Copies of this chain bind each other. A is one copy, B any other.
Amino acid sequence: MAETARHHEPRYGNRPTMKDVAARAGVGLKTVSRVVNSEPGVTPDTERRVQEAIDALGFRRNDSARVLRKGRTASIGLVLEDLADPFYGPLSRAVEEVARAHGALLINGSSAEDPEREQELVLALCARRVDGLIVIPAGDDHRYLEPEIKAGIATVFVDRPAGQIDADIVLSDSFGGAREGVAHLIAHGHRRIGFIGDQPRIHTATERLRGYHAAMVDAGINVQDSWVSLGSTDPSRVRAAAEAMLSGPEPVTALFAGNNRVTVTAVRVLADRERPVALVGFDDIELADLLGITVISQDAAAVGRTAAEHLFRRLDGADDAPARVELPTSLIARGSGELPPA
């Protein structure tokens, strides 16, 4: 152990490099590079010798070095709210599939709906020089991304428009979906309809509320303040909001739930009551068919796929004006939305 580490030596726990492979195979460095990258101009015999050295040493190309030279990382970043949310799993998976088809890896991070954390994540991804970025915005000001986009990081926003910045955007028709859902309840005889949604700083929450109002106005119904509640999707908050709307002298006879988490809690609240209350939820949920829950369904995978396809179009050089794609939602009637007023 008389070895003296004279100079710095990161070497990743002592991995062989192309130089090592070259030495062992008795060829030049560039020849190894050619073999590793399947470039032409190597005789079968040389190639075999190089390959043997690669296998013997357990060589694996260091992509960090490669990236440094080539300028492209063959990776894209996805910043979403929470991977544990059943809406984002399929979305992320769809993005991954498209990335894979383009030979790229996906790095994703959860912002936990915190604008600061979103920025932190996005900048970390930029520092790693991802080729492109798909962002489900938590914050409402994305000017911090300007230098990045100018520097060539293609960016697509999803689910909510970006603040203060011009870029491609893919979203579901929150307004139209909510409007349709609420109109559905009205068509089944309801007039006093409650709306429970996510925090007002979240774009989809206000869009869906706008859809609710539009449907009510269309029907000539005067919305009472007490019928609307925006806030955290924490079960206790949602439960309290629902119970408030369902009690008192003039309780609502139907509820519109602004997203999947609200729906889940609403279903639980309604399960505890004897008087039937109609319910339509935004977002489909697993097993909702068995529980007979009527929902406005949005296709998370389609959203992810569309966003990723737009991103790679940009990466392939498309430079037309930023597009805004709005994907339709669909109402799935399963019973809870068709209950008449009690």
List A residues at the B interface (Cβ < 8 Å): 10-15, 58, 60-65, 67-73, 75, 82-86, 88-90, 92-93, 96, 105-110, 123-129, 146-148, 150-153, 264, 267-268, 271, 285-291, 301
Q: Which residue of B lies closest to A83 (CB)?
A: B93
Contacts of A89 in B (CB 8 A): 83-86, 88-89
**B108 and A108 within 8 A (CB):** yes
- State which of B12, B70, B71 has its C-beta within 8 Å of the C-beta of A151: B12
| Copies in the assembly, this chain | 2
Tell me the bound Cα distance from A75 to B108 in angstroms: 12
- State which of B10, B93, B127 has its C-beta within 8 Å of the C-beta of A82: B93
Main secondary structure of the interface of A (DSSP, over half): helix
Q: Which residue of B lies closest to A15 (CB)?
A: B151
Contacts of A92 in B (CB 8 A): 83-84
Contacts of A93 in B (CB 8 A): 82-84, 110
**A12 and B83 within 8 A (CB):** no
Q: Which residue of B lies closest to A289 (CB)?
A: B268
**A64 and B67 within 8 A (CB):** yes
**B147 and A71 within 8 A (CB):** no
Tell me the bound Cα distance from A12 to B149 in angstroms: 11
Q: Which residue of B lies closest to A128 (CB)?
A: B63
Tell me the bound Cα distance from A75 to B15 in angstroms: 18
**A68 and B71 within 8 A (CB):** no
